[in-house]
Amino acid sequence: MQKICKLCNHQFEITSEEKELYKKFDVPEDEFCFKCAQTQRLAYRNERNLYSRKCDFSGEQILSVYSADKPFKVYKSDIWYSDKWDPMEYGRDFDFSRPFFDQFYDLHLEVPRLALLNVNNENSEYCNFTGGNKNCYLVFGGDYNTDVMYGTLCMQNKDSLDLDYSNKNELSYFLNDSIGCYGCIYTFDSKNCNNCAFISDCTACNDCILCTNLVNKSYCIFNEQHTKEEYLKMKDEILNGGFSKLNKIFLEFKKFLGHRIVKNQHSLSCENCEGDYLKNSKNCINCFDISDSQDLRNIIFASKSKDCLNCSLLGDNSELCYGMVSTIGAYNCKFCQFVLDSSNSEYGKFILNCENTFGCFGLRRKKNCILNKQYSEEGYKEIRGKIVEHMKKTGEWGKFFPPKISDFAYNESIANEFTPLTKEEVLKQGYTWKEKDRKDYKKQDYLVPDLIKDVPESITNEILACSDCGKNFKILQKELEFYKKFNLPIPQMCPDCRHKERMEMRNPRILYDRKCMECGAPIKTTYTPERTEKVFCEKCYLKEVY
């Protein structure tokens, strides 16, 4: 069935399979297309913007995803998780004369928030949405990393900088979607490669530069085989230079990628899956960045999840979820943000180890609660049923939280990365906009030497300005040591713009119907029809590359 999105007015399809899933979750069919629905949820997640502010309980200076001008209380982690305060003190009766979202908005303004979402980290204060990290800095959504700086959704990496969606890499720099690489720089969509630079879609390669679609190769440059002696001489000529030379090579590499053969989707060990970046999964349709999951539809990022529809960022062991964002271990939950090891939670935020909650905020180890008020099991079921009927009458049931309930300005959230909007568009849709702080955009007076060998230790005392957005950033001592070790020039862009540059090398999360450019078979792919790459189905790609 074709529908018109109520936000962007574009046509989108709800399949017969999706119709059955809506019935299963007992919610009305979504009124928004995939992109607009995802944008709504992602507007509730701020990963990358960290601020210095005071803890509203202790008064001490802390780091938080909430800027000091936000209109609610923020507690540092050890206090928020402690018994020094009680979220049930904010409980209230449901008022059937008012819309649900208005009542939840009042509650969410009063209950204190957790400053950062980190668990069991060591010496990794400047991180968010992470767990098990050690000696990490500005890692977001990445777990079990050691000595990693500037990473997003990266897992189990060591001694590496600037990497996104990449796992189990070591001594590497500027990676996207790469696994098990060692000593690699500017590496994309590759696995188990060593000492390579500017490669894409390579597997088990050693000492290759400016290559793509190679398997078990060594000493290749621009996909041409060389002797070891020839390779080392050419490597020295290509890679030994300053920032301007490296940037020129990067641009050349991007042009080279435009003429390669690509598989219609990045997938590994999958069955009946459609989307991109799919691993070890089954029956995942219109899904992106999915691993070890099954029976998912319309999902962005999921790990070890099953039977979920229309969600964003599902952590391990999420099951039977609908309209969720940022979860771990959620079971049979709907329309919640940040649920951890909880079941049967609906329309809540920050729900940890709970069961049967509706419209709650900041609860831990609670059961049968509505708007942070305790009920008996029978009382909870009765009131919950009445609220659902009330929400159906007000037109709220089955809809995600409205923009005003987001804790963040649109351009603070990752929605701005997924769907960039102007300030005017953002305000028109009901979100807020955060203006730039002029203190963060001072002019750079220091001239950075082009060659890393000429960079003095004192650069760590200098304030640099991003060549792209103008925002100030600094080079840390540990970071400088890494650049010197690998003979890499000092970057001219801030960490956020470097992340943005890597994300721009990924395809947008939109599927197109195309035909394999080798055999003509119908395929779904994130490569738009006007792209210059040769897009093959999996069978033709494997025949050509392997």
**Per-residue pLDDT tens over the stretch 29-68:** 999 999 999 999 999 999 999 999 999 999 999 999 999 9
Q: What is the pLDDT of residues 289-344, one digit of tens each?
A: 999 999 999 999 999 999 999 999 999 999 999 999 999 999 999 999 999 999 99
Q: Are 173 and 488 in contact (CB under 8 A)?
A: yes
Q: What is the pLDDT of residues 506-538, one digit of tens each?
A: 999 999 999 999 999 999 999 999 999 999 999
Instruction: Show the domain range for 198.
Output: 124-262
In this prediction, residue 45 carries a pLDDT of 96
In this prediction, residue 133 carries a pLDDT of 97
Is 80 exceeded by the pLDDT of residue 245? yes
Is 80 exceeded by the pLDDT of residue 546? no
In this prediction, residue 143 carries a pLDDT of 95
Average pLDDT over residues 77-89: 96
In this prediction, residue 299 carries a pLDDT of 98
Query: What residues are paired with 432 via a beta bridge?
Result: none
CA distances from 226 to 8, 191, 223 (A): 53, 22, 9
From the CB of residue 376, how many other CB atoms can be counted at a distance below 10 Å? 9
As a whole number of Å, the CA-based R_g of the chain is 24
- Residue carrying structure tokens 């970071």: 479
Residues 6+ apart with CB under 8 A from 458: none
* pTM as predicted: 0.94
Residue at 139 is within a domain: yes
Residue at 420 is within a domain: no
Residue at 353 is within a domain: no
For 165, the token pair is: 């969606």
Residue at 523 is within a domain: no
Band of residue 9 on the pLDDT scale cut at 50, 70, 90? very high
In this prediction, residue 492 carries a pLDDT of 96
Report the chain's mean pLDDT, rounded to a whole number.
96
Q: How far apart are CA 198 and CA 187, in angstroms?
A: 6
Residue at 486 is within a domain: no
In this prediction, residue 33 carries a pLDDT of 96
Element (H, E) at 349: strand 349-352
In this prediction, residue 453 carries a pLDDT of 95
In this prediction, residue 3 carries a pLDDT of 93
Is 90 exceeded by the pLDDT of residue 241? no
Band of residue 545 on the pLDDT scale cut at 50, 70, 90? confident
The dihedral sign for the CA sequence 323, 328, 333, 339: negative
In this prediction, residue 1 carries a pLDDT of 84
Residue at 249 is within a domain: yes
Q: How far apart are CA 392 and CA 132, in angstroms?
A: 42
Burial of 469 (0-12, 13-18, 19+ CB in 10 A): middle
In this prediction, residue 406 carries a pLDDT of 96
Residue at 239 is within a domain: yes
Residue at 8 is within a domain: no
Q: What is the pLDDT of residues 132-190, one digit of tens each?
A: 999 999 999 999 999 999 999 999 999 999 999 999 999 999 999 999 999 999 999 99
* Total domain count, the chain: 1
